[in-house]
Amino acid sequence: MSLSVVSASWLQVGIAAADGDGGFEAPGTSDFYWPVIGGDSSWAITRPMLVMAISVVVLAWFFVTVAGRLTVVPSKRQWMAEQAYGFVRNTIARDVIGAKDFKPYIPLLMTLFTLILFNNVMGVMPFVQFPTMSRIAFPIVLTLIVYVVYHTVAIRRKHGVIGYLKSLVPPGLPLWLRPIMFVLEFITYFFIRPLTLALRLFGNISPAT
């Protein structure tokens, strides 16, 4: 059967379905919502929630047990924990934030890094095979946490409200260009950047990509 015949057949099926002859019913949200527990009431435990909870328990158990048995000659688990910590501390925190101010933010960055990494690995782990970050709610929540911490630190510890708003405009610009740059930077820092970061994390892990 040629490709044109197959296409024509599918076209006829689609037309018949549109006319109501084929009994076609478009899928709704209920067809893709498969709760593990509940679902008929106002609450439910879904598969993404379950995978996220398991990942939190596993990571907490791993780091607590490693921290309680530190040795001079590290075991395999201690070596893995030290490698992850060293990568976050030296490559992410110190290089991005700066050698002077990075230490207070290592716990947050370490938590985000290991949580995102482990949940992404869940996408190829046998018997799980579900990346939780492919559900947009999780990247949004993580983005909101970073969003609040970022602006709180900038306002309370660095610049203050007025100073922070002034820092959005690079020095040395002509007077006529400063209002335009302020509006662009304000929209970028407060709206566009958190949205794009959440969508990038979601898009990289989404099974459709």
Residues 6+ apart with CB under 8 A from 93: 102, 103, 105, 106, 109
**pTM reported for the whole predicted model:** 0.72
pLDDT digits (tens, 9 = 90+) for 33-82: 667 777 666 677 888 888 899 999 999 999 999 998 889 888 999 999 99
Express each pLDDT in 159-186 by its tens digit. Answer: 888 888 888 888 888 888 888 888 998 8
* 37 within some domain: no
Residue 182 falls inside a structural domain: yes
Report which residue type is found at 125.
Answer: M
Of 82, 111, 135, the last residue of a domain is 135
Q: Are residues 51 and 129 in the same domain?
A: yes
Q: Tell me: do 70 and 5 sit in the same domain.
A: no
Structural domains of the chain, count: 3
What domain range includes position 16? 1-32
- For residue 46, being part of any structural domain is answered with yes
